[in-house]
Amino acid sequence: MDVKYINPFLEGTVSVLKTMAMTEPIAGKPYLKKDNQAKGDVSGIIGFTGSARGSLAISFSKAAILRIVANMVGENYSDINGDVRDAVGEITNMISGVARKNLEAQGMNIQAAIPTIISGENHAILHVLGGPSIIIPFNTNAGPFYVDICLNMQK
């Protein structure tokens, strides 16, 4: 996958978390992932159609997401409950929105589905295209999270 298609997702991730959760995530080195195993404790996954087919997943460690949601909502959470899962969906949706807007500037028109949330130890992330996917690891003050992208450009 061309890096110019990855960057909008990186920018979207940083922009959403910085703006909505006062969190400055630091991106690590991307790598290829060949299995379905989620890297975090709760994940949001969203499918794309149009100029690109595939899916984006964001997988958060428990520590990272609890801090992020606390910053967004102004309330503390001790576990991954319904509110936290909702927030994961909303964050996934927002990152997808920013990325698609940036890709629109490159002449691409991508539609997104409604995000799905999966949580629990060792849960799987099933990409629409089956994989492999590119993982961009991020770190925050509270813990890590992972952006997991599997896209096929149609043009």
Partner 1 sequence: MDLQIKILVVDDFATMRKVIRNLLKQVGYENIVEAEDGVTALRTLKSQKIDLIISDWNMPNMTGLELLKAVRADEEIKTTPFLMVTAEALQDNVITAVKAGVSNYIVKPFTAEVLNEKIKKIIEKLG
Which residues contribute to the site for partner 1 (CB under 8 A)?
Answer: 15-16, 19-20, 69, 72-75, 82-84, 86-87, 89-90, 93-94, 96-98, 100-101, 104, 114
Minimum CB separation of residue 73 from partner 1 in Å reads 5
How far from the centroid of its chain's Cα atoms is residue 142's Cα? Answer: 17
Distances in Å between the alpha carbon of 144 and those of 2, 111, 128, 137?
A: 25, 28, 24, 7
Minimum CB separation of residue 66 from partner 1 in Å reads 13
Toward partner 1, which CB reaches closer, 64 or 72?
72
Minimum CB separation of residue 132 from partner 1 in Å reads 27
Q: How many residues does the chain have?
A: 155
- Looking at the DSSP bridge assignments, the partners of residue 28 are none
* DSSP letter, residue 75: S
Toward partner 1, which CB reaches closer, 91 or 150?
91
